[in-house]
Structures are given as C-alpha cells and as structure tokens.
C-alpha cells in the first residue's frame, strides 16, 4: 500500500502557512523518520496523514483514494502524551478494543499485563498507558503507524523495549511507519530514510 500527500498546504485559521506544495510518500514495510525544529508543523502533518485534520490545499491518498471516513482507520497515530489520547472514564479494556480485537500475542509483545485491562487510566503509569495506546493503534485494520514523539516521555530501557516490540510487529505485518522525533540518533537507528522538515523546496519526500 502507499500513503501519499500531494501538494499539501495547511495553516491554522489566518496564521501563516505552515507548509504549501508539500509532497509525501510512505510505502508498506517502510520506516521513515521526520525531524525538524519545534513548531515547524511535524505534528500537523501527522494529523493530516492520519485524517484527523483536512489540508486546505492538496490531498492525502491511500492507494490513490481518499482516506476512509468511517470504520477503524488504516492510518493510526500514537502521540507523546497517552493521557490526552484516551477517555479517562473508560477502563483500558474498552480503550484497547476501540482499535478492534487485538491480535493473538499483541498485548504480551507490548508488555501489557492482563490485570491493567480492568483499571482506569488514572491507575496506570504513563509508560503503561502508552503501551495500551499502542495496542489500540495496532488493531487488525492498521496499515500505517505514525509515532509522534511516542517514547519521548519514557526512560531509556522502556523506550528500547517498546521500540523492539513495535518494530518486530511492524516488520511481521509489513506496516509502514512514520517516526516523528527530535532524537536524531533514534531516527538514524530505526529508519531507512529521514525527512528533514521543512525542506527548502517544499517537497519533503518523493518516491
């Protein structure tokens, strides 16, 4: 599968354009990094690719078609702060099930303990919650995963464990991944190419 952005342009309200005429492409099985200074629009691009916001100019296409408007979304985002991404009034079992029935072994691979599922979000640590958000994002319909500073708030050992698990799952399922991070060495280690944002000519990636 191919996730593409064509001639993307976005600005918030009447603010200056964050980007215009931007191209982007990510194929199944590819792991691509996105790096750039704070405030340059990386998370905004991630939101457009995940269908959370619509570009004012250009189009986001999945295999040449617009992103689907209903059902489990094939492009999933995992954000830096899991507590902002989940309903505080739902126990974790329900939150994870939002992404569909988790595949056999997924919870174990992500180091999720069964008894967490019967807890409220406020009863888990940030790292534990983030693992649950990943389980939701890695539901059976997911084809592309966008990890926006996904492990920035975790200690080094937990980061390494989580990336090991996620990369293994991505490889086995041939997911395409966009890794948004300020951590250059992490991107160099994980990704086959790294997009520097914003690129001078407005084209961040072409294939």
For ligand ATP, the binding residue among 38, 65, 89, 104 (CB under 6 A) is 38
Distant-in-sequence, close-in-space partners of 81: CB < 8 Å, separation ≥ 6: 126, 153
Should residue 41 be labelled a site residue for ligand ATP when binding is judged by CB under 6 A? Answer: yes
Burial pattern 44-70, b for ≥16 Cβ within 10 A else e, equals: bbbbbbbbeeebeebebebeeeebeee
Closer Cβ to ligand ATP, 81 or 172, answer by number:
81
Q: Which stretch binds ligand ATP (CB under 6 A): 37-45, 111-119, 136-144, 166-174?
A: 37-45
Q: Which two tokens stand for residue 18?
A: 């964050």
The H or E element that residue 65 is part of is strand 65-66
Q: Minimum CB separation from ligand ATP for residue 41, in Å? A: 4
For ligand ATP, the binding residue among 39, 71, 122, 156 (CB under 6 A) is 39
Cβ distance 127 to 83 under 8 Å? no
Closer Cβ to ligand ATP, 112 or 145, answer by number:
145
Q: Minimum CB separation from ligand ATP for residue 16, in Å? A: 9
Q: Minimum CB separation from ligand ATP for residue 203, in Å? A: 17
Of residues 5-24, those binding ligand ATP (CB under 6 A): 12, 18
Cβ distance 82 to 133 under 8 Å? yes
For ligand ATP, the binding residue among 2, 40, 153, 167 (CB under 6 A) is 40
Should residue 35 be labelled a site residue for ligand ATP when binding is judged by CB under 6 A? Answer: no
Q: Which two tokens stand for residue 46?
A: 């991630």
Q: Helix, strand, coil shares of the chain as percentages rounded to 5?
A: 30, 25, 45
Of residues 46-105, those binding ligand ATP (CB under 6 A): none
For ligand ATP, the binding residue among 35, 44, 76, 151 (CB under 6 A) is 44
Number of helical H runs and strand E runs in the chain: 6, 9
Cβ distance 183 to 34 under 8 Å? no
Residues of this chain that interact with ligand ATP (CB under 6 A) are 12, 18, 36, 38-44
């Amino acid at each position: 599968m191919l996730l593409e952005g064509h001639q993307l342009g976005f600005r918030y309200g009447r603010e200056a354009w964050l980007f215009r005429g931007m191209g982007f492409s990510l194929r199944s099985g590819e792991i691509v990094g996105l790096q750039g200074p704070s405030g340059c629009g990386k998370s905004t691009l991630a939101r457009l690719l995940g269908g959370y916001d619509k570009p004012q100019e250009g189009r986001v296409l999945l295999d040449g078609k617009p992103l689907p408007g209903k059902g489990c979304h094939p492009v999933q985002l995992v954000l830096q702060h899991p507590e902002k991404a989940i309903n505080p009034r739902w126990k974790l079992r329900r939150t994870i099930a939002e992404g569909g029935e988790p595949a056999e072994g997924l919870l174990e691979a992500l180091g999720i303990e069964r008894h967490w599922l019967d807890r409220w979000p406020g009863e888990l640590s940030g790292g534990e919650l983030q693992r649950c958000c990943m389980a939701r994002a890695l539901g059976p319909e997911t084809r592309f995963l966008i990890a926006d500073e996904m492990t920035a708030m975790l200690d080094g050992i937990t980061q390494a464990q989580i990336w090991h698990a996620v990369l293994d799952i991505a490889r086995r399922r041939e997911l395409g991944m966009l890794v948004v991070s300020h951590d250059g060495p992490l991107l160099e280690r994980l990704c086959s190419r790294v997009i520097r944002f914003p690129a001078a000519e407005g084209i961040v990636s072409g294939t």
